[in-house]
Amino acid sequence: MIHLAEIRLTAAHADRSAFPFNIPAVRSFPGLRLEAPVTMFVGENGSGKSTLLEAIAIAARAVTAGSAEAADDTTLEGVRALAGALSLSWARRTNRGFFLRAEDFFGFARRMAKTRADLEADLARVDAEYADRPGLAHDLARTPYLKEIGELERRYGDGLDSQSHGESFLRFFQGRLVPGATYFLDEPEAPLSPGRQLAFLALLRQLVEADGQAIIATHSPILLSYPGAAIWSFDEDPIAPVAWGDLEHVRLTRDFLANPGSFLRHL
């Protein structure tokens, strides 16, 4: 399912000498039609792939799964200017899904741990206040806290911070996977081993089968191999579609694995 169908840069008055409009991929941005459920942005660090993804997520008013909402994050001030210059066209508008930067994931895990601790403290306070009252009143007072704690357990088990980085990320993503949603993910491979990246591809398949859409900025040849994904290279000016087998990331990884000695002898 394609929810977000097209992205255009509309602010002709934007200062092309200032960040982020001075990034080549932004300065020459030709607009982008999204015709596949999974779209990948790939390029070297500083190429603008994450910047554009962040701006699209902000323009889409996506919920931020991180330690701070994108609309309030001081590190995204320049990106918000770009978001204001973008025009998004939707085939079907959806408010489901979220925006996640890999570096924000552990901030989110800490926020969920604090939320659970606060709920458990409130539950203990209710138990103390209702210790001498009838059982029904006590049970009614406890119910909302038990429901919220139960929902956190259903989604995240004992807590995202109680698992390995890769396990907690996959548990988090699976717990928030809902039908008909749009996801904006920046370098989700960061906490994932190669094996867990394959598991993440399986979750992407579930997302697509549930009428979801994903836009992902990544360096990972494994994630980039998702069948049918549209891949846009930010190492081109302007950005351009590229086949998986033609990616420098893929060629370099393949050549290194075939003959690591030919690379390592130059160290």
Q: Which residue has tokens 């191999």?
A: 225
Q: Reduce the DSSP state of residue 17 to 3 states and report it.
A: coil
Q: Give the pLDDT score at 107.
A: 66
Closest-CA residue to 2 (of 261, 208, 163): 208
Q: Give the pLDDT score at 162.
A: 47
Q: Give the pLDDT score at 147.
A: 84
Q: For residue 63, with 0-12 CB atoms within 10 Å meaning exposed, 13-18 middle and 19 or more buried, which class applies?
A: middle
Q: Reduce the DSSP state of residue 40 to 3 states and report it.
A: strand
Residue 138: left (phi > 0), alpha (psi -120 to 50), or beta? alpha
What's the pTM value of the predicted model, to 2 decimals? 0.79
Closest-CA residue to 187 (of 7, 45, 33): 45
CA distance 165 to 177: 18
Closest-CA residue to 108 (of 134, 77, 69): 69
CA distance 1 to 124: 45
Extract the residue ranges of the chain whose pLDDT is less than 50: 160, 162
**Helix ranges restricted to H, the chain:** 24-27, 49-59, 77-84, 102-129, 135-156, 165-175, 194-209, 221-224, 248-258, 260-264
Closest-CA residue to 228 (of 4, 53, 35, 98): 35
Q: Reduce the DSSP state of residue 69 to 3 states and report it.
A: coil
